A and B are shown apart, each in its own frame.
Chain A
Amino acid sequence: MATEIARYDASALVGLNVIVVNGAKEIIEVNGEHEQVSYIEVPDIEGLSAAAALLRCMMPQKLLGSEIRALRKIAGMTARELSEAMGGQPAIETISRWENDHEFAGGYAESVLRLAICERVKECAPGIDYSADKVNRVKLIGNGKQTKAPVIELRRMLVRHDHRTNNSWTAELQAA
C-alpha cells in the first residue's frame, strides 16, 4: 500500500533541513503475519539534494558546520577536494574545524565555498533558477553561531531544460 505524503522531512537523507512537498510516498509492507514495515520512497534523491544545495547557497543565513559538511557530501567531495576547489585555501584542517563548529568561516571564504559547491552540483538541479552571480550577490547574515538551519521546501514539477521537459525538483516558492 502506497500513500503520498504531503510534507516529508527529508533532512536525514539530504543532510540539510529539507521538506519535500507532495513528492514522497510511504509504502507499507507486511512481513509475516503481523509485522508491518514502513518504507519511504523519494524520487531522484540526488537531484533533490543538488536542488537543496543550490537553494541553501543562495540563502543569506550563514552556513552551520553541519550544513557545510552536508553540502560537501552532496557535491561528492572530500575535504581535500573542497580545499582544492576553493583554490587551495583553506587548509583541510580548517574545513574540518568549520564543519565541527570549532571555527567559523569568514564571509569571503564562505562565498567561495558556496560557489565551489554550486558549480559542482548545478547540472543535477535544472529546476532551480541558479546563477553564480546570484550566489556572489548574497549578503550573508548571522555569524554561523546560530543553532537552526533554514528550511528548504522543494516540490517536483515538470521543467523544460535543454529542449526537453522532465520532472525536476523546484523551490516550493517558485512552484507556487
Chain B
Amino acid sequence: MKFHAEQRRLVTILTDGHCVIRYSKHATEEMANDAITHADVLKVLRTGQVTWFEVKKDEIVHVEGADIDGRRIRLVVGLRDQLIVLQIITVMALTNSI
C-alpha cells in the first residue's frame, strides 16, 4: 500500500477520543450540493485509502472511499496540532448515488 505511514496516522487520529473534526465553509457547501453528510465523511475516513500526501502549510492527505451507499467520495484533509485535529478542506462525490 502506498502512503502506508499516512494511513496509519489517520487511523491513530480517528481512534483518539479527543479527535476534533473541522469543516471548511467550502467543504460544507460541497457536502450540501452532493448530499454528503458527516456520517458519509466518517465512513470514508475510517474505511477509505490515503491516495495522496503532500506538505504545504499543513500536511495534506487525500482519502478516497465509499460512503454508506457505496458512492465513491474523495476528501482533502489537513492534519493538524499534535495529531488531534482533522481539517476537512473539501469533499467531492466521484460517482453518482446508487
Contact = CB atoms under 8 A, between A and B. Distances in A.
B12 interface: no
Interface size class of B (residues with CB under 8 A): 20 to 34
Contacts of A20: none
Interface size class of A (residues with CB under 8 A): 20 to 34
Interface in A61-114: 66, 69-70, 72-74, 76-79
Contact of B23 (A15, A40, A72, A77): A40
Interface of B: 20-25, 28-29, 31-32, 35, 37-40, 42-43, 57, 68-69, 87
Given A31-B57, A78-B69, A15 B39 contact: yes
A83 to B, nearest CB: 14
B68 A11 contact: no
Given A41-B21, A78-B69, 19 more contacts: A12-B29, A12-B31, A12-B32, A13-B37, A27-B22, A31-B57, A38-B24, A39-B22, A39-B23, A39-B87, A40-B23, A40-B28, A41-B20, A46-B39, A49-B38, A74-B37, A74-B39, A77-B68, A79-B69
Contacts of A73: 37, 39-40, 68
Contact of B37 (A15, A31, A78, A79): A15
